[in-house]
Structure 1
């Protein structure tokens, strides 16, 4: 049996965390959730992950700052993919997110199709087929 794929969903809004987590779970991912940037950094310092879905607009510490810290400190393990999970989807905003270390941008509201498209573009598993998940 292969190793489970671990994802971290970071969003200060509980409904958004739940939605993203359920979508990833149904695609075969093992998902953890946190509600802030500092909590994300703490979790990533102690746990490996293949993927972070990271909200941009959060109080205390923005998703941009979290992304920069994850990259600078090597948190979450090698090869971690960070997806900006945001309502900010203008071309100049997307360019900024990618320039500071995000691997992709997923604009809210998300759908199963948009999540699958981003995972596929990042060469990450986007299907529960073959994972033993029904």
Structure 2
């Protein structure tokens, strides 16, 4: 196995963070959790090179995931796009398209299951991103 992949999860709901952590349990990932948008954005900006994927709750009260995604996309260079996934209960087609238009690479609809979540990780972190990566 290649080294652990680092996922930054920004979600104000403790139970959602626990659920994601349980799904990633297996030793292949390092999960960094932030419980609000401001802390999440600050951590992301300070540690960008160490993060492989970001999972952002869209509906946080202080600074939501869409604001964070737009901020990151506004400062990225064209050659180093960080995979950013919207984590949301908003499943309507129009809402999903607006998230993609805001710069998200994919959408994970709550409530999530391992069957939805792990293939999404593989799409964004798997073959072609880090050959040899194993998934739990």
Same fold (TM over 0.5): yes
Q: Which TM-score band (shorter chain)? A: 0.7 to 0.9
Equivalent position of 1:20 in the other structure: 20
The 5 A counterparts of 1:1-134 are: 2-26=2-26, 28-47=28-47, 48-74=50-76, 78-122=80-124, 124-125=125-126
Q: Which ranges in structure 1 are unaligned for 5 or more consecutive residues? A: none
Q: Which ranges in structure 2 are unaligned for 5 or more consecutive residues? A: none
Cα distance per residue 1:15-56 (max 9 Å; x no partner): 101111221243711110001111111111222211111000
Change (3 A) 1:102 1:12: same
Q: Secondary structure at the match of 1:26?
A: coil
Q: Is the 8 A contact 1:50 1:79 kept in 2?
A: no
Q: Is the 8 A contact 1:25 1:31 kept in 2?
A: no
Q: Is the 8 A contact 1:86 1:108 kept in 2?
A: yes
- Please give the TM-score of this superposition, normalised by the length of structure 2: 0.83
Q: Secondary structure at the match of 1:31?
A: strand
Structure 2 CA distance for aligned equivalents of residues 101 and 133 of structure 1: 26
Change (3 A) 1:6 1:72: same
Q: Is the 8 A contact 2:8 2:53 kept in 1?
A: yes
Change (3 A) 1:74 1:81: same
Structure 2 CA distance for aligned equivalents of residues 8 and 25 of structure 1: 15
- Please give the TM-score of this superposition, normalised by the length of structure 1: 0.84
- Offset of 1:132 from its aligned partner? 8.1
Q: Is the 8 A contact 1:11 1:17 kept in 2?
A: yes
Matched residues, number: 129
